[in-house]
Amino acid sequence: MPARGMTPRPSVLIVSNGRGEDAVGAAVGALLRRSADVLAYPLVGRGEAYRDAHLLDPRRVLPSGGFALRAGVGALVGDLRAGGLSLWREQRSTLAARRGRSQAVLAVGDVYALWMAARADGDIVFVATAKSETIEPHGALEVGIMRRHARVVFARDARTADVLRSRSLNARFAGNALVDVIPEPAGPLPLPPGAPVVLLLPGSRLDAPRNTAALLTLARRVAEAEPAIFTLTLPPSVEMARVIREATAAGWTVDGAFLRLPTAAVYVTRDFGATVRRATVGVGLAGTANEQTAALGTPVVAFAPKGAVQYTPAFMRLQHRLLGDALLPAPDWEHAADAVVRLLRDAVERSRRGAAGRERMGPPGAVPAIAAEVEERLRRGPA
């Protein structure tokens, strides 16, 4: 309770549905804490990015990692068997219980996140990270939901903002929020200076350990053809002990933070901020991390592993349309290894594809603009 005579601080609720989206929500929330109490509800996973915000419950990791509708019927059935329907009902109830208690609501992700956030009512600012006119335009139903629930929409690129405005939405582009939340390095990397570095990104879903096995097989093949150091960067949701255990079972030896073969060395870390800035080439089976790697001017090679949860052939095609020449899609890990070798040997091609990534992802700047918009709505009061 506030002290007698003091005005209570306003409340902001952040609703997000994905690892990258959580990072955006957490970054905006960090700026809002100077003027409001911040609560967050990550709809997918446990919300590790929200280190300082009060988190709502329940939170749970489902087998599809939030990709049930994209991954097909099997993924949807798996989520239902794991209690996905009851989780959804509980999430809806939790948000409804917040109705009228937060002066502003920030929804980050796709239109589903906005639709869920509307249960809490409030003045809703929507950060539309999932879709772009470049890859997948918003449909009529999605536009209708935005028109009904969002006071303002922050689009991920200028073209998308223009199209949404032409459809009578209060939309704007202030930079790419995913570029804003590329983390700073946690420290220096124990890598030889000047050596080419291949960044391995297994993704953050439940199939990440299996993806890691495929990436280590690729690293073995690349190292036999071209000298390079590899960095395997694991997100907080992936158990490092399991990855190490499975790697040693496949013949790798553990040397401190390195996995080694006679011909290859892989540095295992969680410091994405440092490894992405040191990378010469990326090999990514990820969503946000692939895009952030491209945003820094590093080309990314990708392939769709068998049984993938997130990085399916359809997802890879969409990401290729988004990133253009910054992403090199391959039919399998063998062809991906060949593409990595080619890029390591061809600085001109790396530069050209890197420039494409910077152009496609766009500049930073969205996070402070979003925070300023929410703060303005807090000052203005209910619309």
- Domains in the chain, CATH or no CATH each: 11-56+98-175+365-380 (3.40.50.2000), 197-361 (3.40.50.2000)
What mean pLDDT is predicted for residues 166-182?
96
pLDDT score recorded for residue 111 = 96
pLDDT, residue 231, reads 98
What is the value of pTM for the model shown?
A: 0.88
* pLDDT digit string, tens, across residues 271-293: 999 999 999 999 999 999 999 99
State the average pLDDT over residues 114-124.
93
- Predicted confidence at residue 61, as pLDDT, reads 73
Least confident of 30-34, 51-55, 317-321: 51-55
Tell whether the model's pLDDT for residue 339 goes beyond 50: yes
- Name residue, tokens 């549905």: 17
Work out the widest C-alpha separation in the chain, in whole angstroms.
72
Query: Quick one: which H or E segment has residue 16?
Result: strand 11-16
Using the structure block, give the residue that is written with the tokens 């490894």: 275
Overall residue count recorded for the chain in this entry: 383
pLDDT of residue 1: 47
Res. 382 pLDDT band, cuts 50 70 90: low
Give mean pLDDT, residues 69-94: 73
- Find the mean pLDDT for residues 159-188: 96
Residue 27 — very low, low, confident or very high, per pLDDT cuts 50/70/90? very high
Contact 199, 279 (CB under 8 A): yes
d(CA 76, CA 62): 10
Q: How many angstroms separate the CA atoms of 131 and 30, rounded?
A: 25
CA proximity to 114, closest of 147, 139, 87, 159: 147
pLDDT over threshold 90, residue 207: no
What per-residue confidence (pLDDT) applies to 379? Answer: 86
pLDDT of residue 135: 86
Q: What is the mean pLDDT of residues 119-135?
A: 92
Specify whether the CB–CB gap between 207 and 307 falls below 8 A.
yes
127, 177 Cβ separation under 8 angstroms: yes
Q: Tell me which long-range contacts 160-164 makes (C-beta under 8 A, separation of at least 24).
A: 160/128, 160/131, 160/132, 160/133, 160/134, 163/133, 163/137, 163/138, 164/138
- What pLDDT, on a 0 to 100 scale, did the predictor assign at position 24? 96
Residue 93 has pLDDT above 80, yes or no: yes
Tens of pLDDT, residue by residue over 209-258, are 889 999 999 999 999 999 999 999 998 888 889 999 999 999 999 999 99
- Rounded to the nearest integer, the mean pLDDT of the chain is 91
Percent of the chain past pLDDT 70, that is, above it, reads 92
Confidence of residue 84 (pLDDT cuts 50, 70, 90): confident
Beta-carbon contacts of residue 180 (< 8 Å; ≥ 6 apart): 24, 27, 364, 365, 366, 367, 368
Of 361 and 236, more confident: 361
To the nearest 5 percent, what fractions of the chain are helix, strand and coil? 45, 20, 35
What strands, in cross-sheet order, belong to the sheet with 197-201? 253-255, 258-261, 264-269, 229-233, 197-201, 281-284, 300-303, 327-330
